[in-house]
Amino acid sequence: MARAVSTRRMAVATAAAWIIALIIFFPILYTVITSLKTETEAIKGFNLIPSFTLESYVSVQTQSGYLKPFMNSVIIAVGSTILALFVAIPAAWSMAFSPTKRTKDILMWMLSTKMMPAVAVLVPIYLIFRDFGLLDTRIGLTVMLTLINLPIVVWMLYTYFREIPGEILEAARMDGASLFDEIVHVLTPMAVPGIASTLLLNIILAWNESFWTIRLTTTNAAPLTAFIASFSSPQGLFWAKLSAASTLAIAPILIMGWFSQKQLVRGLTFGAVK
């Protein structure tokens, strides 16, 4: 009868998984539902059935302009990710294949910068940005997000590279490859799955980053995070419009995440089991 028990268990576990997934997903779902309501409906209270109006989407686009912050988000997220990969690939190579006594310490130190509350360095960074004329510029924000996410990118790539047999790189060296050839022709193509999942994760992190993007921008370089925030002021709260803006902001990254989930899960669990 073991089979019957396991079937029942499976049913319970599946139901539990669906319930938990729904609870986690509910805020996003409710945001989408609210975005399809009129402002009067939205303010009334909890209601799962909207009137399916698109007026909030229309007014978000006509009054505030979605395209510019969307393009800013794309440029900043993709730009900072590519820049981070350029720095992180050689860094992770040296840590994985030519480690020194202090490599582990350096990795820990890099990660420790992520443990610091961002607000602790807000004033110095704001002043640096101001003095260098980087406030409200895409370049400034791209550099900022590159630096913020660099430790995670290096860590992820380091974990991937460690799985690549060193003998293959030695073979390339024997075959006459220079360090540059070794990284470009051998290491990088072999690490494509790892680099791809690092790239995806970093784009998501950069896309969703709101602390610095809101504080270092006003209008020109403001990405979607700042775009959403702008709906909470100054005329008071407009729930339906705020929800429509949020939906528009998360939709691209949600769609990208959906199509690349296999790659992402592999990236996040890589090296956990051999």
Partner 1 sequence: MGKIILKKVNKSFGATQVIPGIDLTIEDGEFVVFVGPSGCGKSTLLRLIAGLEDTTSGTIEIDGKDVTSAAPAKRGLAMVFQSYALYPHMTVRKNIAFPLKMAKASPEVIEKKVTEAARVLNLTNYLERRPGQLSGGQRQRVAIGRAIVREPSAFLFDEPLSNLDAALRGTMRLEISELHHQLKTTMIYVTHDQVEAMTMADKIVVLNAGNIEQVGSPLDLYNKPDNLFVAGFIGSPRMNFVKGESAKPWNAPTVGIRPEHIRLSKDAGTWKGVVGVAEHLGSDTFLHVNVEGVGMLTVRADGDFPVTHGDIVHLTPDDGRIHRFDESDKAIR
Q: What's the closest the beta carbon of residue 194 comes to partner 1, in angstroms?
A: 13
Contact 84, 265 (CB under 8 A): no
Residue 102 contacts partner 1 per CB under 8 A: no
d(CA 22, CA 149): 30
Residue 175 contacts partner 1 per CB under 8 A: yes
Choice from 171, 184, 265, 268 touching partner 1 (CB under 8 A) = 171
Q: What's the closest the beta carbon of residue 111 comes to partner 1, in angstroms?
A: 27
Which of 169/216 has CB closer to partner 1? 169
Residue 168 contacts partner 1 per CB under 8 A: yes
Choice from 42, 95, 154, 172 touching partner 1 (CB under 8 A) = 172
Q: What's the closest the beta carbon of residue 157 comes to partner 1, in angstroms?
A: 17
Part of the chain binding partner 1 (CB under 8 A), chosen from 55-63, 76-84, 189-197, 238-246? 189-197
Sign of the CA dihedral 267, 205, 102, 172? positive
Residue 266 contacts partner 1 per CB under 8 A: no
Residue 174 contacts partner 1 per CB under 8 A: yes
Choice from 87, 122, 128, 177 touching partner 1 (CB under 8 A) = 177
- 154 contact partners, CB below 8 Å, separation of at least 6: 88, 91, 92, 95, 107, 110
Residue 165 contacts partner 1 per CB under 8 A: yes
Tokens of 221: 């370089």
Question: CA distances (Å), 175 to each of 169, 186, 190, in order?
Answer: 10, 11, 17
Residue 181 contacts partner 1 per CB under 8 A: yes
Choice from 117, 124, 189, 234 touching partner 1 (CB under 8 A) = 189
Q: What's the closest the beta carbon of residue 270 comes to partner 1, in angstroms?
A: 17
Interface map 43-72 toward partner 1 (x if CB under 8 A): ------------------------------
Total residues in contact with partner 1, by rule CB under 8 A = 18
Residue 107 CB neighbours (<10 A)? 18
* 77-82 CB contacts, 8 Å cutoff, 24+ apart: 77/145, 77/203, 77/206, 77/207, 77/223, 78/203, 79/138, 79/142, 80/141, 80/142, 80/143, 80/144, 80/145, 80/146, 80/149, 80/202, 80/206, 81/149, 81/153, 81/199, 81/202, 81/203, 81/206
Contact 206, 81 (CB under 8 A): yes
Which of 59/188 has CB closer to partner 1? 188
Residue 97 contacts partner 1 per CB under 8 A: no
Residues within the interface to partner 1 (CB under 8 A): 165, 167-168, 170-178, 181, 185-186, 189-190, 192
